[in-house]
Amino acid sequence: MMTILIRFALCLLAVMALCAQTVLVVTVTVPDVTGTSATVQVFPAGSGPARTYTIIADSGNSNPVRCGGATTSATAGLKMAAGGTFTGMALALDPRQSSGVESAKLFYDLTTVYCYIVTGDKVSLAYSK
């Protein structure tokens, strides 16, 4: 798991270098979320906006995890098998946009990320600011 997070951080840094931006990116890990057979907001309150995020379904899970918006359920959302990964990739700058106000739109709102996780199954999380 640590190897995946290191690869994630290295890929993120490479993308930022290609965009020719001088941006300090910080990767933040948060505690695992254990399922209760309900749809839950997976990132903790106060996580703030993120340039990227990653959700990893634990390899020991016995059921798929579903992730998406607030309407995610046992039958709706992106399905991840045990060990599966979903990554909200870094959003590229549009050269037609000016810097400043427009570039502020290039973040994910982590309060809108939800997962349906069966009781006892887990997901691991990380995001970059």
Q: Is the pLDDT of residue 104 over 70?
A: no
**Which tokens belong to 126?**
């990380």
Give the fold, CATH level 3, of 2-91+104-128. Jelly Rolls (2.60.120)
- Tell me the CA distances in angstroms from 86 to 4, 19, 22, 57, 120, one per residue in order: 12, 23, 26, 9, 20
CB-CB contact of 43 with 125 (8 Å) = yes
What proportion of the chain, given as a percentage, has pLDDT over 70?
71
Q: Is the pLDDT of residue 78 over 90?
A: yes
**pLDDT (tens digit per residue) in 19-56:** 555 557 789 999 999 999 999 999 998 888 898 999 99
- pLDDT score at 116: 98
Burial 58-74 (b: 16+ CB within 10 A, else e): beebebbbbbbeeebee
- pLDDT score at 95: 59
* Sign of the C-alpha dihedral computed for residues 112, 113, 117 and 119 taken in this order: negative
**pLDDT (tens digit per residue) in 84-98:** 999 998 876 655 555
For residue 4, report the phi and psi dihedrals to the nearest 5 degrees: -65, -45
CB-CB contact of 65 with 121 (8 Å) = yes
pTM of the prediction?
Answer: 0.74
- pLDDT score at 26: 86
Q: How many residues belong to the chain?
A: 129
**CA–CA gap between residue 8 and residue 101 (Å, rounded):** 27
Grouping H, G, I as helix, E, B as strand and the rest as coil, residue 72 is coil
